[in-house]
Structure 1
């Protein structure tokens, strides 16, 4: 989430609070202050979730003459004062000018990212975020009053504010309850009715010091110019010819532009665009004005002049690998010059507009210091339009919309098209430059699946966001048209075929709704046709993410088995091995692991006791053929390659008298890799190192089996978390010991997952090279759809296990085919 910034002074009208005619407690000061008073209190500084690092009390002077604060103090009493409670105080000095402010900084916390502006006085009082009493006192001796009546009788008390949960000392009723991210502040008129509830409202903290400075460095204009004129900087000067503004951190005054769109929730603000473009194709003519919590009343078509600070916002945090969004932040004045102006026409982006090449090669270093080449690279092209209105016509969704109302479209419909409407990721050098994220600006997206289309013009401003990079913030949408994709159903296996499926069920736990179990079970039965063996990834322990040391998952597996049987499937049996507590990665406390389900009416599991969390499975010789020492057993679980990652689970099965070794896998995730669209190019894929190590361990296991029995039937299945062209997969398949079945499909069908609009391969089934007869299918039921039971598509292979002899296989298969033919005739 983006850190919120404090509100700054703008010419806005606040609603007047209404004082109800009810009986109130005795007030602490019966005479409202004619001049110096408390304007704002904030006790959440440095707390969890806070933006500001420090508590503060802001004073104001509503009078016409300065008020000396020499010998005065600000004092604080906890919300529920007891006989033992004492007032804490901070001495003051100097004065508060007529109509001015005075900022008192108090204790700092360990959180927050934004410092207060230079304070006029500083203390060490650790104020509570949700309640307390603050007094402005003409003296530096601690108060002793503990009730509203006693404080009212003390003539030194010039003003007093009980906020939030203050129950003992306050003026009238206390204010609404502030929190770590909110303060209690008087309205712009500085009304003082001696009723804290009526005089104060809770909202984003807005500290201002005696110089009018805010945390963003801005200075509210006390005397707005009735006839503002443009300053000497225009939007293209702010954007500059690179990714980072040449005016970063500088104050700009009177930046002209026409409002093209607004955003009133989330990262609030509006876009402006300059119709007077310069001659440099690298400089954008649009920019986002980030107002945070500050209300604004501009609408598209308003011609405005903006004062503010040039900023570069890096989604995900300053230490991350994302690029930045150039903004005018903490605006101190927004002047509407005229209304009803034509909004600048959007630039129409066609299939040939964006270059095929994706990003400049900086040797892994940052591209933020390299001048833009928008005619050469897609990222440069989009950066040179940052903040501007663009238009795309008749665009196809290459991924489903998500719970945040975001989706992905392609501006290049012929770029690596998938068979069902997506865009296939075919190599590191083919990132598909036509992909573009879309999200709501002022026009919300429909719920869309892959292949759905927005007919006609979709218009919006370009920005850069987290989880996806360059984004079209839509102001108007084309007409939504369904592409009509449906969940796939695989074909049934023959009696002579062993079917093995893999399915990542996305953190399945008994704490999930029954509807999730039922939907996953329905897919196993209906869409996968009840495979003989199901390799499962992301089975959580019996209480899910609760972190209490539980590691067993028998309840999880039993609940899934019951759901499958209720859906009309077989009564599966399960096999798994519990991981060590919090040793295998995944959701903290979830203890995810891989597991087997198998249909005992079709296939037998060869149980060999002794396999546990730490015992490695060995390959042994049994009557001249390969066998497992333990079954199920974990593959080399102590190897450092599996640190904080799932350990493969090997099982020995028997199908029609033939032995089949199945290994369930879930390699380490891609967490920590640099963003494809980020500032470092080419991006580092640091997580690949561990997956290559894991592939080497798994390949060593395959080699051990084949060293004893070259004709062994081996199925490696699961979520490898890497692409078919990745170094890890290449290491596993080197020399042809096993075949990656995804490569047997046409290129347009090679995907089981969709990420940032790229249809890609993470899940795999590998077969030993001697297995020649198989049918393989990725069953698309989740990844392309907005409504998902899991974020992965399952896949299934139907194999005719080998006897170990090619000649014997041919005779056996011929006999099996003949028998099945006769059965069909009967």
Structure 2
């Protein structure tokens, strides 16, 4: 046994002698992949900056940095039980790997670690600013240049809520990021969207600090190490401070002479789900407290009429003066996952008629065009004198798959649905029409289909499927009339965006 141990030690010594002697910034290189990928290297006397449960990071001491803005001085080391501590100066021999585009060493390949000193000063953190990381699209994002390094920022804003994995999207500065027109970089044609490369994520509890659920619009400051995980740059903080809470306010109270129309996606509200009671309570409270109980509420993604009736009953129980009547025509879906569009209408509105439009309209690639047919409500405001109103409730094809293997079906359906709805708008445009709902589309072109501008009859920046001239009188998109920071109904990958809209024509007599 002693001979075997001596032979193993001798082999390790030979490997260490043969391994290239390199600095971390040489391992990282100036591209997304290490020039030493899959090679055994030795990097000497680097500082351990953070230690996690099954990993640690080390970084070139400040005085040995190449000071190049294109290379990182830090790197991740993955091991089940780290044997080092923050502030250790260590030398390491191992195999350079790329895991999900993150350069690292892995214990599984065999590591030789020597502690040269137990307590040295940590490298100075890189300061993130409004200009770094850049907002411009580029083949090598700025954050790649600090992957594995200590970074610090004095001010950032959360651009979305904390995910189920404890990760929150943030952006340096005080202005959150928004989705912009076009296809994400690199795009095959214009317009092109840069993808907001300045957005990254923070995981507050990654290194044992107090974890917290955040919402969009909060301000914070932090210091930590920049990791890269599953396609996103991720800050693992060694310290942080929440410096301001998020604004959360209701719509304005309507005046005595105002009538109100609202739209709400209930996110698959079903009486079959285990959390139905609590979710129904939250939706009911949101309708009353945040939306101020609109006279007409267009809803999307409810299982059926019984769910709307439950909401109406709960609201009346909690607020006896608010009386809603539900309206819904089933789209014919069955099974566990069923979503419909419908209405809740207060007794301030009368002569209500609800009609499903386009239910049997064919799709050019086969089958029916509308999975969730638009629902037209015709009614009268109980004002003096009474005034007619029409509301068209939409829940159109989602963006899922628009650039994937099923892109032809997705783009074609979205385009043909927008054409279909544009004709519905044109047929009702002179009758106090309001078009609301989940358009699953931005207020501008996504580069493939310009759904909203097709329906509204407004100018387009261009798309693969060009806008047709159908609507004779352009509709106004009231969703873009609020303050810029409030122009969103959804957050995706840290970017606020409007997918739910309210379009209106010239209201006659209202």
* TM-score normalised according to structure 1 size: 0.51
In structure 1, the residue corresponding to 2:288 is in which secondary structure? helix
Moved over 6 A (4+): 220-223, 226-230
- The question of whether the paired residues in 1 share the 8 Å contact of 2:216 and 2:246 is answered with no
Query: Could you list the per-position Cα deviations for residues 788-820 of structure 1 after superposition, in whole angstroms to 9, with x for gaps in the alignment?
Result: xxxxxxxxxxxxxx3xxxxxx3xxx6xxxxxxx
How many Å separate the matches in 2 of 1:335 and 1:696? 65
Cα gap change, 1:312 to 1:744, in 2 (>3 Å): same
Q: In proportion to residue count, which structure has more helix?
A: 2
Tell me how far 1:673 sits from its aligned partner.
Answer: 5.5
Question: Which residue of 84, 87, 91 corresponds with 1:305?
Answer: 91
1:284 aligned residue = 72
- The question of whether the paired residues in 2 share the 8 Å contact of 1:298 and 1:336 is answered with no
Counterparts in 2 of 1:124-523, with a 5 A limit?
231-253=20-42, 257-264=46-53, 268-275=54-61, 276-278=64-66, 280-291=68-79, 294-314=80-100, 324-329=101-106, 330-337=108-115, 338-357=117-136, 359-360=137-138, 367=139, 372=140, 379=141, 381-413=142-174, 417=175, 422-428=176-182, 429=193, 431-440=195-204, 441-442=206-207, 443-455=209-221, 458-466=222-230, 469-477=232-240, 479-483=241-245, 485-495=247-257, 497-510=258-271, 511=273, 512-523=275-286
Counterparts in 2 of 1:107-122, with a 5 A limit?
none
1:660 aligned residue = 389
In structure 1, the residue corresponding to 2:457 is in which secondary structure? helix
Cα gap change, 1:701 to 1:426, in 2 (>3 Å): same
How many Å separate the matches in 1 of 2:438 and 2:198? 28
Tell me how far 1:347 sits from its aligned partner.
Answer: 0.9
1:722 aligned residue = 441
1:623 aligned residue = none
How many Å separate the matches in 2 of 1:454 and 1:493? 38
How many Å separate the matches in 2 of 1:539 and 1:715? 21
In structure 1, the residue corresponding to 2:225 is in which secondary structure? strand
**For the pair shown, which has the larger CA radius of gyration, 1 or 2?**
1
Tell me how far 1:521 sits from its aligned partner.
Answer: 0.5
Tell me how far 1:224 sits from its aligned partner.
Answer: 5.7
- The question of whether the paired residues in 2 share the 8 Å contact of 1:302 and 1:336 is answered with no
How many Å separate the matches in 1 of 2:401 and 2:114? 45
In structure 2, the residue corresponding to 1:353 is in which secondary structure? coil
2:315 aligned residue = 564
How many Å separate the matches in 2 of 1:645 and 1:290? 48
Tell me how far 1:508 sits from its aligned partner.
Answer: 0.8
1:754 aligned residue = 491
2:301 aligned residue = 538
Cα gap change, 1:464 to 1:637, in 2 (>3 Å): farther
Tell me how far 1:765 sits from its aligned partner.
Answer: 0.8
What residue ranges of structure 1 are gaps of 5+ in the alignment?
Answer: 1-62, 66-97, 100-211, 213-219, 315-323, 361-366, 373-378, 541-552, 583-587, 608-630, 676-683, 772-801, 803-808, 814-826
1:671 aligned residue = 400
In structure 2, the residue corresponding to 1:296 is in which secondary structure? coil
How many Å separate the matches in 2 of 1:595 and 1:581? 14
Tell me how far 1:408 sits from its aligned partner.
Answer: 2.7
Counterparts in 2 of 1:791-806, with a 5 A limit?
802=508
Tell me how far 1:288 sits from its aligned partner.
Answer: 1.4
Question: Which residue of 358, 367, 374 corresponds with 1:648?
Answer: 374
Tell me how far 1:391 sits from its aligned partner.
Answer: 0.8
Cα gap change, 1:644 to 1:243, in 2 (>3 Å): farther
How many Å separate the matches in 2 of 1:262 and 1:674? 39
How many Å separate the matches in 1 of 2:249 and 2:165? 23
1:697 aligned residue = 420
How many Å separate the matches in 1 of 2:194 and 2:13? 54
Tell me how far 1:728 sits from its aligned partner.
Answer: 1.6
- The question of whether the paired residues in 2 share the 8 Å contact of 1:406 and 1:445 is answered with no
Tell me how far 1:244 sits from its aligned partner.
Answer: 1.7
2:464 aligned residue = none
- The question of whether the paired residues in 1 share the 8 Å contact of 2:363 and 2:416 is answered with no
In structure 2, the residue corresponding to 1:603 is in which secondary structure? strand
- The question of whether the paired residues in 1 share the 8 Å contact of 2:357 and 2:373 is answered with no
Cα gap change, 1:249 to 1:577, in 2 (>3 Å): farther
1:60 aligned residue = none
Counterparts in 2 of 1:534-613, with a 5 A limit?
534-540=297-303, 553-568=304-319, 570-581=322-333, 589-606=336-353
Cα gap change, 1:532 to 1:279, in 2 (>3 Å): closer
Tell me how far 1:674 sits from its aligned partner.
Answer: 6.5
How many Å separate the matches in 1 of 2:229 and 2:170? 15
* TM-score normalised according to structure 2 size: 0.80
In structure 2, the residue corresponding to 1:390 is in which secondary structure? strand
- The question of whether the paired residues in 1 share the 8 Å contact of 2:305 and 2:327 is answered with no
- The question of whether the paired residues in 1 share the 8 Å contact of 2:396 and 2:439 is answered with yes
Cα gap change, 1:506 to 1:222, in 2 (>3 Å): farther
Query: Could you list the per-position Cα deviations for residues 495-540 of structure 1 after superposition, in whole angstroms to 9, with x for gaps in the alignment?
Result: 5x43211011112112224222112111212222221211111113
How many Å separate the matches in 1 of 2:210 and 2:109? 26
- The question of whether the paired residues in 1 share the 8 Å contact of 2:250 and 2:289 is answered with no
- The question of whether the paired residues in 2 share the 8 Å contact of 1:635 and 1:650 is answered with no
How many Å separate the matches in 1 of 2:233 and 2:291? 37
How many Å separate the matches in 1 of 2:314 and 2:433? 29
How many Å separate the matches in 2 of 1:407 and 1:732? 34
